[in-house]
A and B are shown apart, each in its own frame.
Chain A
Amino acid sequence: MAVEPLEITNRIRELRESSGRMSQKALAERVGVSRQTINAIESAKYTPSLEVALRIARVFDEPVESVFVCA
């Protein structure tokens, strides 16, 4: 049975800015991916694995479902 892919947005840019303007590079280093991957996630060009999503949520001390939202 085919299911429609979920459209997932995220609040990473907003959370970075509210966390003292954390740069993409700083977030990337804490999560363990490249800056370009953080940029791709922010602009919804790439949906990260559950592990990376959880790592991002942990950096902002937020539940993962509050960082990644189904549109």
Chain B
Amino acid sequence: MGASFEEKSVWVQLIAIVIGLGAYFVLAGMQLASGAYEIGSYVGLFIAGVVALVALMIAGHILAAVREQPENADERDRQIRWRASHGSGWVLGLGVIGAMATILLGLERVWTLNLLLLALALSECAALALKLFYYRRGF
């Protein structure tokens, strides 16, 4: 079965997040390992990651739209969205608890900030992966 525009859009979002924010977290991790704790030194990197993410999403959606006419989401798409966000919220929850732990342990603020960003990114990736799972396997 060929993928719908909605499913292709999920692939585009997942790939864009993995590449755009993945690159940010690899470089930010290297900076953290080298002892750079100034939040300012992560801002440029983060903006570059977000710009890459947005550019990839725009390019990917244009490509998907060229291949198949975009359609409005139907009831199955909406149920898949709901199930995926319901099943991925715990990732964000764990990240928030981890971020609270960094504060309690007295770590630099940059750890808290990056841990929260990582939790957001992983939670979104988990939601997108769950959507693909439901599109392919059904429910």
Contacts and interface: CB of A to CB of B under 8 A. Distances in A.
A33 B2 CA distance: 15
Nearest to B71: A34
Interface stretch (B3-11, B19-27, B48-56): B3-11
Contact of B138 (A34, A35, A46): A46
Contacts of A32: 74
Given A34-B4, A36-B3, A52 B138 contact: no
A34 B139 contact: no
18 contacts: A32-B74, A34-B4, A34-B6, A34-B71, A34-B76, A34-B77, A36-B2, A36-B3, A36-B76, A37-B77, A43-B138, A44-B138, A45-B137, A45-B138, A45-B139, A46-B139, A48-B76, A52-B75
B76 A37 contact: yes
A45 B7 CA distance: 15
A37 B78 CA distance: 12
B1 A36 contact: yes
Interface string B95-139: 000000000000000000000000000000000000000010111
A-B residue pairs, 4 tightest by C-beta: A45-B138, A33-B74, A36-B4, A37-B76
